[in-house]
Structure 1
Amino acid sequence: MKSVSDTLFTKPFIANPYPTYNQLRKEEPITQIRLPDGQYAWFITRYEDALAALKDQRFIKDFRKLIHEDELNYYTVLDENMLFADMPDHRRLRGLVSKAFTPQMIVGMRGRIQEITDHLLDEMANHQSVDVIDSLAFPLPIIVICEMLGIPTEDRDKFRIWSNVLIEGTNGAMVQEDMEQHMDNFIHYLKERFAIVRVNPGEDLISKLVITEAEGNQLTEKELYGVVSLLIIAGHETTVNFIGNSIMNLLEHPEQLELLKKQPTLITNALEETLRFNGPVEYSTSRWAGEDILFKGQSMKKGDLVIISLNSANHDPEQFKDPEILDITREKSKHLAFGKGIHACLGAPLARLEGEIAISSFFKRYPHAALNITKQDLVWRTGMIVRGVKRLPILLNH
């Protein structure tokens, strides 16, 4: 008999995974599946199990502890960051980066984020229809993170390409040689950038990280590459899909959008609900059983790969009443869109601020916007991390 897990990662599933998740939570809440790259992994879909796994430090993030040094591949140079580190390295790396994401610093960026957003919305004004991903959801966070990192304006398009490669290479969606070439270019660029700021440091985040490394304060050259690559993904990719998914979901639920227009103070609620309803991060990043583990009745062997479906957990009826309904008046929920535990997304406050400004400003400027694409024609991004569409055509004045 064919298992429901066999339908995972097919085109219909990627377009709408929630019916499959519903079935998995009922029938196979923790089950072994075959990933697109051929690996096998434990797949966790219930909220309670997902939360427990995210907090369980028996599941490790540093896969190097499980394999021989000779088996390490080229891309480990990008893995030297807190996302793939266990304690105590995680605490050290997160502490260094967290200095750029203090609540005071995030609040202080509101004016600049609003300025960038207004400029992008102004540029849409002469168009009847726009792709809101290209026009707003992508450029806003890439401008913000590039300004934080000190990346020159003329190099932002390169970072878009490299960001896509980092994400879409996660499930073998790219030819290996192409990915290697892009990553060679990325590392070469960063090496040159590090050399520039060592001579002439500024107030940007790369300068601060390089100065930390130069002072011998526990940052290696490889860790610099890893931290910057993580910041691009965490500070950009997640927000692109957060903004795109939120605008799409609100347009697909006009009664909720009308409620938001009448009560703009519901924007925070609306964002948390769209994060729960169709979050920008589909799955947790990889974890491995660091030892033989009995987890929720399942015997996992040391080295077993574990994947947590964040979006499935966020649709668990045991945790959320009527989870398939988008309800922006829902009380603040303990959704897992940004993870939990020590690896919870450091950039979540920045993503929330960018999302709030982008989405509220967009609908204030273009209150009659409407989708200019059918659900069947949406093309979803590939990869084993993010959930979002490649394009989102919108009529600005329907």
Structure 2
Amino acid sequence: MNPAPERLLLTDDFMHDPHTTAEALRAKGPVLPVVLPTGLPAWLVTGYAEARDLLTDDRLSSAGVYDRLERLREAADGKPSSFSADLARHLLNTDPPDHTRLRTLVNKAFTPRTVERLRPSIEEIAHELTGALDTSGPVDLLPAYAYPLPMIVICELLGIPKDDRESFGAWSNVLVSTAPPEEIGAASAAMGGYLAGLLEQKRKDPADDLLSALVAVSEAGDRLSVPELIAMTFVLLIGGYETTVNLIAGGLLALLRHPDQLAALRADPALLPAAVEEFLRFETPNNLSSPRYTKESVTVGGTEIPAGEFVVISLLSANRDGTRFGAPGRLDITRPAGGHLGFGHGIHFCVGAPLGRIEGEIAVGHLLKTFPRIELAVPEQDLRWRTSTAMHGLEALPLLLA
């Protein structure tokens, strides 16, 4: 029996100074046994080649991860988690053939055509939000623009009533944070209960929205069950909201830190699609992949990960790996777009990637078109990143706009 590995204890710098931390971790090796700031013992993958390989390795399983994590939490806390099990049974926590079935059904409702027809509506939302900004003083871009734009879009797409959107934002922020288990459990129960009622309403009175389409969609007589619908709605909501918030704010900050790139993008807005791809690489909105565990011993990057171990992949670190990207710490909006892992890779590649790309392109482009002057309203060192191991996003982005 192999002895337990000596694990590196990661501090809050993993969340608050992630690129410096990732660089130091890559120097130690592309695969390391760690304890995350949340207390989870896992093997952390920081190298690009190793990350890409493991994201498609079927010796790593996503199915049953929730149950394993809950047993670990219960052993540590002495009591079961109150996190809604319905929310946890989603695409990211399944393997084929269940994953294949779920993905096939959601792809029938969430098509590129569905997303592309949202472009005029997203442009209108961006126009309305910028028109409502009070630019007489500093503007915090997150609550004024980066949060509401994707929230309005995903709620309109799903068919969530306007009066309920503020609650969704509050629940979402808690669920991706490192809040105490009781708070996360309460937020998950509230969201799960709300979604169950809303889906029943869509079943009785369908509308022209994605939730109604998911309720109705079938493939060879197969349909999504109610728990599957709840979990699917949850992952679409979180993925379609949180990722884009961080893409907008992180992308704009990256431009402000690289004035030459900001000037180039202002001079040629046709560079926006490429710029969004570079934002996804440079300031990756999702730090870690969803956790997986090894079904058998796996050797990667010269390191053996024993069977039955949790594995988490740092998409943020892989996207700054100098063995894959030249000058990885420099923003370059003309960089060839292919290869980054901003939306993951393999079967769990983000189903909402086309929507996130369009939202990022429109949101950043509209700000640059509307405001000839965009500057930080505080010293750069005063900016703080959110306390979350999953998401990489700013707590606030105070700007001067004119």
Return the TM-score normalized by structure 2: 0.91
Contact map agreement 1:50 1:310 (CA 8 A) in 2: yes
* Whole-angstrom CA distance in 1 between matches of 2:298 and 2:135: 59
Structure 2 residue 195 is matched with structure 1 residue 190: yes
Summarize the Cα distance change of 1:335–1:68 in structure 2 as closer, same or farther, 3 Å threshold. Answer: closer
The partner residue of 2:206 within 174, 177, 201 is 201
* Whole-angstrom CA distance in 2 between matches of 1:112 and 1:17: 35
Contact map agreement 2:171 2:187 (CA 8 A) in 1: yes
- Paired residues for 1:193-342 under 5 Å: 193-212=198-217, 217-342=222-347
Contact map agreement 1:5 1:24 (CA 8 A) in 2: no
Q: Letter of the 2:118 partner, please give it.
A: M
* 1:180 corresponding residue in structure 2: 185
Summarize the Cα distance change of 1:92–1:232 in structure 2 as closer, same or farther, 3 Å threshold. Answer: same
Contact map agreement 2:150 2:359 (CA 8 A) in 1: yes
Structure 2 residue 132 is matched with structure 1 residue 123: yes
The partner residue of 2:10 within 3, 8, 11 is 8
Summarize the Cα distance change of 1:62–1:127 in structure 2 as closer, same or farther, 3 Å threshold. Answer: farther
SS at match of 1:31: strand
Summarize the Cα distance change of 1:112–1:194 in structure 2 as closer, same or farther, 3 Å threshold. Answer: same
Summarize the Cα distance change of 1:26–1:125 in structure 2 as closer, same or farther, 3 Å threshold. Answer: same
* Whole-angstrom CA distance in 1 between matches of 2:57 and 2:113: 31
* Whole-angstrom CA distance in 1 between matches of 2:259 and 2:66: 50
* Whole-angstrom CA distance in 2 between matches of 1:66 and 1:157: 30
The percentage of aligned residue pairs carrying the same residue is 40
* Whole-angstrom CA distance in 1 between matches of 2:38 and 2:24: 23
Summarize the Cα distance change of 1:189–1:127 in structure 2 as closer, same or farther, 3 Å threshold. Answer: farther
Structure 2 residue 21 is matched with structure 1 residue 20: yes
Q: Letter of the 2:231 partner, please give it.
A: G
Structure 1, 151-160 or 218-227: larger mean CA deviation: 218-227
* 2:103 corresponding residue in structure 1: 94
Structure 1, 326-335 or 355-364: larger mean CA deviation: 326-335
Shift of 1:16: 2.6
* Whole-angstrom CA distance in 1 between matches of 2:70 and 2:310: 19
* 2:117 corresponding residue in structure 1: 108
* 2:384 corresponding residue in structure 1: 379
* Whole-angstrom CA distance in 2 between matches of 1:352 and 1:67: 33
* 1:349 corresponding residue in structure 2: 354
- Paired residues for 1:60-75 under 5 Å: 60-63=61-64, 74-75=83-84
* Whole-angstrom CA distance in 1 between matches of 2:151 and 2:117: 18
SS at match of 2:222: coil
SS at match of 1:55: coil
Structure 1, 300-309 or 118-127: larger mean CA deviation: 118-127
Shift of 1:293: 2.5
Q: Letter of the 1:163 partner, please give it.
A: S
Structure 2 residue 80 is matched with structure 1 residue 76: no
* 1:35 corresponding residue in structure 2: 36
Structure 1, 351-360 or 308-317: larger mean CA deviation: 308-317
Shift of 1:208: 2.1
Contact map agreement 2:109 2:213 (CA 8 A) in 1: no
Contact map agreement 1:149 1:204 (CA 8 A) in 2: yes
Shift of 1:24: 2.2
* Whole-angstrom CA distance in 2 between matches of 1:263 and 1:278: 22
Q: Letter of the 1:220 partner, please give it.
A: S
Contact map agreement 1:77 1:222 (CA 8 A) in 2: yes
SS at match of 2:199: helix
Number of corresponding residues: 389
SS at match of 2:390: coil
Shift of 1:298: 2.4
Return the TM-score normalized by structure 1: 0.92
RMSD: 2.4
Q: Letter of the 2:120 partner, please give it.
A: G
**Which sections of structure 2, spanning at least 5 residues, go unmatched?**
1-5, 75-79
Q: For 1:111-139, what per-residue CA distance to the aligned partner results, in whole angstroms no more than 9, with x for missing partners?
A: 01101110001101554321111111111
* Whole-angstrom CA distance in 1 between matches of 2:253 and 2:337: 21
**Which sections of structure 1, spanning at least 5 residues, go unmatched?**
none
Structure 1, 234-243 or 59-68: larger mean CA deviation: 59-68
Summarize the Cα distance change of 1:7–1:326 in structure 2 as closer, same or farther, 3 Å threshold. Answer: farther
* Whole-angstrom CA distance in 2 between matches of 1:216 and 1:266: 44
SS at match of 2:84: helix
* 1:148 corresponding residue in structure 2: 157
